[in-house]
């Protein structure tokens, strides 16, 4: 069909057991090029396990080569380094320059220029020289995504990018993140429990329940899906 997007990632009958529990139960999951996908489900539905299976099977360099990057619900930054240093360190790693980091740090202006541009894209330019441990929680969330984005992925997995921040911070965070990923044409798959975020920012929603995909479709379709409403949206949390 004209205008149809190509699948960037496809899993076929993916399975993961934890004891007698089918955490991921023969899941066929796709992410298409240049889309923002939301992955929703109740606690234990299999969302994080699915993403772990996809994103942690390979080595770090293998994931970089495959074009996959990830941010985490619990932000993983070097708090004693500046925001710019955190991004630059990722760029050095991406380029395989970590072994010579000390020698290169002062002279590799291209890396520092790129780090500056990434911080600017995420609205963190003013925090470039601030220690990562000294920025606000919302800024830490953005910086964590910026660090993952610095790997130049084709597919970016984001694990609850708005968790732990105030309600008023959620929209600015998502405005920034989706603006960056859409403007650069990469795909983002977001694990998210806030249904306002899910319906306002995603192109497609995949709902999981008991390790299996319950529904897959555009927001308007998922919003009207009685099975999803009964099992997920009608609950206090869709985590």
First to last CA, the chain: 34
The residues, any chain, with a CB within 8 Å of residue 218's CB and separated by 6 or more, are: 203, 204, 205
In this prediction, residues 99-119 reach a mean pLDDT of 76
pLDDT tens, position by position, 89-104:
999 888 877 655 555 5
**pTM, entire model:** 0.88
pLDDT tens, position by position, 187-221:
999 999 999 999 999 999 999 999 999 999 999 99
Is it the case that residue 167 has pLDDT exceeding 80?
A: yes
Query: How much of the chain exceeds pLDDT 70, in percent?
Result: 92
pLDDT tens, position by position, 7-58:
999 999 999 988 888 889 999 999 999 999 999 998 889 999 999 898 877 7
In this prediction, residues 99-117 reach a mean pLDDT of 74
- Rounded to an integer, what distance in angstroms lies between the CA atom of residue 186 and that of residue 147? 15
Write down the pLDDT at residue 238: 43
Helix (H) or strand (E) holding 155: strand 155-159
- Rounded to an integer, what distance in angstroms lies between the CA atom of residue 47 and that of residue 213? 10
Query: How much of the chain exceeds pLDDT 90, in percent?
Result: 69
């Amino acid at each position: 069909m004209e205008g149809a997007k190509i699948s960037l990632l496809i899993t076929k009958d993916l399975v993961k057991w934890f004891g007698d529990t089918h955490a991921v139960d023969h899941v066929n999951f796709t992410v298409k090029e240049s889309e923002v996908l939301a992955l929703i489900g109740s606690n234990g539905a299999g969302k994080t396990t699915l993403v772990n299976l996809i994103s942690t099977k390979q080595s770090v360099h293998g994931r970089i080569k495959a074009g996959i990057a990830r941010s985490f619900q619990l932000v993983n930054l070097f708090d004693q380094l500046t925001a710019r240093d955190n991004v630059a360190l990722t760029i050095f790693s991406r380029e395989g320059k970590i072994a010579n980091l000390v020698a290169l740090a002062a002279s590799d202006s291209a890396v520092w220029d790129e780090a500056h541009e990434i911080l600017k894209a995420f609205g963190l330019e003013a925090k470039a020289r601030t220690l990562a441990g000294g920025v606000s929680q919302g800024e830490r969330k953005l910086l964590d995504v910026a660090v993952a984005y610095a790997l130049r992925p084709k597919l970016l997995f984001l694990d609850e990018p708005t968790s732990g921040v105030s309600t008023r911070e959620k929209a600015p965070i998502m405005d920034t993140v989706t603006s960056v990923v859409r403007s650069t044409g990469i795909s983002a798959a977001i694990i998210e429990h806030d249904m306002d975020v899910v319906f306002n920012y995603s192109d497609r929603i995949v709902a999981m329940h008991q390790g299996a995909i319950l529904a897959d479709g555009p927001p308007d379709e998922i919003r009207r899906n009685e099975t999803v409403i009964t099992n997920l949206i009608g609950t206090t949390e869709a985590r």
